[in-house]
């Protein structure tokens, strides 16, 4: 059995983000998604932040639903988290939420997709 191609992309580029929800555009083209690894790298934080991130999938690229089991363990300071999930629809994206007291978190999310 040979290796399958992997497609990677930065879903959310490294930037400082205050409280709010941040969502990437669709990462996988139609009929490409299979297994997805989401890597979250938080390089700095201030205030008392929390950072949650997970994956969503869509058949049409406009109606999105959460992928069960794709959430990272919450970050409350600089650090790294990884989540892996099976995508059963054509498109995938990352969504993240920064919350807390006067939060600001500098982070990046990268998705690596193993084709079906």
Q: Could you read off the pLDDT of 53-95 as tens digits, one per residue?
A: 999 999 888 899 999 999 999 999 999 999 999 988 888 999 9
Rg of the chain on CA atoms, in Å: 14
Distance CA 7, CA 28 (A): 8
20 domain-assigned: yes
CATH number for 34: 2.60.120.660
Find, among 34, 42, 51, the residue nearest to 85 by Cα. Answer: 34
Task: Give me the pLDDT at residue 23, please.
Answer: 97
Q: How many structural domains does the chain have?
A: 1
66 domain-assigned: yes
Task: Give me the pLDDT at residue 26, please.
Answer: 87
pTM: 0.90
As a whole-number percent, the residues of the chain with pLDDT over 90 amount to 69
52 domain-assigned: yes
Q: Which domain holds residue 93?
A: 6-114
1 domain-assigned: no
């Amino acid at each position: 059995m040979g290796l399958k191609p992997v497609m990677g992309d930065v879903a959310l580029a490294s930037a400082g983000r205050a409280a709010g929800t941040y969502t990437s555009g669709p990462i996988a083209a139609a009929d490409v998604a299979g297994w997805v690894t989401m890597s979250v790298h938080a390089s700095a934080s201030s205030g008392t932040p929390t950072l949650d991130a997970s994956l969503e999938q869509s058949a049409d690229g406009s109606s999105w639903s959460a992928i069960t089991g794709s959430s990272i363990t919450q970050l409350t300071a600089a650090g790294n988290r990884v989540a892996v999930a099976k995508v059963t629809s054509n498109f995938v994206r990352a969504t993240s939420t920064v919350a807390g007291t006067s939060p600001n978190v500098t982070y990046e999310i990268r998705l690596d997709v193993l084709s079906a």
